[in-house]
Amino acid sequence: MPVCTTCTHPVAYLYTVYESAYNFRLEQCPACHAFADPYVEHDELTLILDLILLKRDVFRHLLFNRGTGARKAKKRREGNVDAMTAAIDPEVAKGRDAAAENDLLDATLHDSQHELARQMLIYKLGGALLLVDAIIRWAHLHPEKALASADLGSWSRESCISFCRIFVGCLIETLAFHLGILAACLVCLKCVDGWRALRRSGATASGIRQQFRLSHVPLTLLYSSLTKLFLLLLLSVWRPVAGDSNSIDCSEAHTSPGYCSSDQPVITAALQIFDEDKLDRDWVIRNVLGGMAAGFGLRVVLDCHPFFTTLIILFGWLVKNTVASFVSKWVGGDDVTGDAWLAYSIP
């Protein structure tokens, strides 16, 4: 059953389709009286942009409401005729009860089909994002071969083997991270449910907890990784030129309005932290921003306190880094590249 993207209350339908496919009406949530899911009428570009911006409602739409919640409206005359016939003939009423039972069986079958479709989406999206991640890793470990270069002659057999090793390493690292997150989610949810049972709280579970499946966790991690992969891909294609921050002449810097003189060492030292030679932007985006995005996504899908999602992310990082330490030498091909791979992985 779909949920409201605003208050997570379960709703029977998200929109009603009339005679034509483009003639539909959004349904209101019975709890908060807002539109149950405004993203039904949005295109894919809007969904991708909102995913990059980490908007909560788009996660709920893609995880719980995508491809569900449609109701086809009957013509008014046909509805009136069916109601009058059921009131006159009791056999018709029994037939409607049997049809309701069939609808329940169809709903169960639809849930299993939706679960299978979600798993296929995980494989497709995971494969595409894994390829992008491998390209970004390869560009980071081999900066002499720029991605924006059109010279294909620099690609040799050794380069292809190196890329394949990095791709396999990304696959192993991603599987370890997802398996660690799944195990931590199971333990966390068991503890939360046990605590609620001990307190004997009469509060009902939210719509998200009612519709939660384990397949939602890896799909959430893949969706939340779009933000970091988008920024890392931009840094891989258009790398900042070294020395840009020091290219300004000192005489011009002294006369500029924003120049910080030597009597303000605190401000000068604080600004120097963002220099290219002191700040690894790739590392910050991958680990800091990537961890925050993954924690936000898990906060949406698990519907629990941020403290628990932080513990889950830390445990996933621990499992990932443990596995990465075993395969780093093989992925890099030598000790130097292997250490660079491991340093790029450890948060």
What tokens does 185 get? 């989610």
pLDDT reported for residue 56:
92
Q: How far apart are CA 52 and CA 285, in angstroms?
A: 13
> Quick check: 159 and 135 in contact, CB under 8 A?
no
pLDDT score recorded for residue 69: 67
| Structural domain total, the chain | 1
Residue 344 phi, psi (nearest 5): -75, -20
pTM as predicted: 0.79
pLDDT at residue 89, rounded to an integer: 52
Strand partners, 35: 28
pLDDT of residue 269: 67
Q: Are 328 and 338 in contact (CB under 8 A)?
A: yes
Q: In angstroms, rounded to a whole number, what is the distance separating the alpha carbons of residues 311 and 303?
A: 14
Q: Could you tell me if residue 335 is inside a domain?
A: yes
| pLDDT for 254 | 46
Q: pLDDT at position 90, please?
A: 56
Domain carrying residue 294 = 122-240+264-345
Specify if 78 maps to a domain: no
pLDDT at 299: 92
Residue 29 belongs to a domain: no
Q: Which residues of the chain have pLDDT under 70?
A: 20-21, 69, 73-110, 143-155, 200-203, 239-264, 266, 269-279, 346-347
**Given this model, what pLDDT does residue 241 score?**
60
25, part of any domain = no
Sheet strand arrangement including 70-72: 24-26, 15-17, 70-72
Residue 194 inside a domain? The answer is yes
Beta strands in the chain (DSSP E): 15-17, 24-26, 70-72
The pLDDT, as a whole number, for residue 154 is: 55
Q: What is the pLDDT of residue 270?
A: 64
320 is a domain residue:
yes
How far is CA 255 from each of CA 109, 247, 258, 270, rounded to the nearest angstrom?
73, 15, 9, 21
Domain presence at residue 190:
yes
DSSP letter assigned to residue 71: E
- Report H helices in 89-156: 90-141
**Dist CA 78 CA 82 (whole Å):** 6
